Chains A and B, each alone.
Chain A
Amino acid sequence: EAGVAQSPRYKIIEKRQSVAFWCNPISGHATLYWYQQILGQGPKLLIQFQNNGVVDDSQLPKDRFSAERLKGVDSTLKIQPAKLEDSAVYLCASSALYRGGAFFGQGTRLTVV
């Protein structure tokens, strides 16, 4: 079974530029999560999708972050414009609706300079 795929693995941008991350979850997983992990901290939930609907985006900085999940499968997370404090690892995860844990991709390390 293929795991959660994320791209790119690394990205370096200047502040005020825009950036997009892509995630392909495990086939059949209804729930998709985007987390932000700042160095030395635990992951913080940015947004949670159930199929293609948003369940929780209470911690998403909506003035600069946006996310969508097309046809309940792939998802993109965008930052525009980026700030220095957005430097972090962005993790995508997916889970089946009722059982098991969430499975994570390898993450994208974003550096804003």
Chain B
Amino acid sequence: AQTVTQSQPEMSVQEAETVTLSCTYDTSESDYYLFWYKQPPSRQMILVIRQEAYKQQNATENRFSVNFQKAAKSFSLKISDSQLGDAAMYFCAYRSARTYKYIFGTGTRLKVLA
């Protein structure tokens, strides 16, 4: 069975600084997708960034980028130039390419300090 682990329950970052959120996963599958979702207090899950396992190049979306280390089964999210609006819960998620089932980590609460 696949598992997703987020070992940082809470992180803080100063506005305009850079922060990295960690995620590790375990799977025996070779084809899968990895995602980072943001959940603000409004509780709607918002897709931040996606990485296909077969792609070696790390995904980037504006201020958000990932460091995907397939052999180490590590998938970290880097947020550059942090903004107050980035404050939220961040969930790492694994999706099987075979079953399309999503498995979520326990989340990291990000606080942005003005």
Q: Which residues of A contact B (CB under 8 A)?
A: 31, 33, 37, 41-45, 48, 50, 55-56, 89, 91, 93, 95, 97, 100-107, 109
Contact = CB atoms under 8 A, between A and B. Distances in A.
13 contacts: A42-B4, A43-B45, A43-B104, A45-B103, A48-B100, A55-B99, A55-B100, A56-B101, A89-B43, A101-B35, A101-B50, A102-B95, A107-B43
Contacts of A104: 37, 44-46
Contacts of A42: 4, 91, 104-107
Interface residues of B, number: 23
Contacts of B46: 104
B42 interface: yes
Given A101-B35, A104-B44, A56 B99 contact: yes
B47 interface: yes
B100 A45 contact: no
Q: Which of B33, B37, B105 has the most chain A CB atoms inside 10 A of its CB?
A: B37
B102 A105 contact: no
Given A100-B50, A101-B35, A101-B50, A45 B44 contact: no
Interface of B: 4, 33, 35, 37, 42-47, 50, 91, 93, 95, 99-107
Given A42-B107, A43-B91, A102 B43 contact: no
B100 A95 contact: yes
A107 B44 contact: yes
B100 A31 contact: yes
A45 B102 CA distance: 8
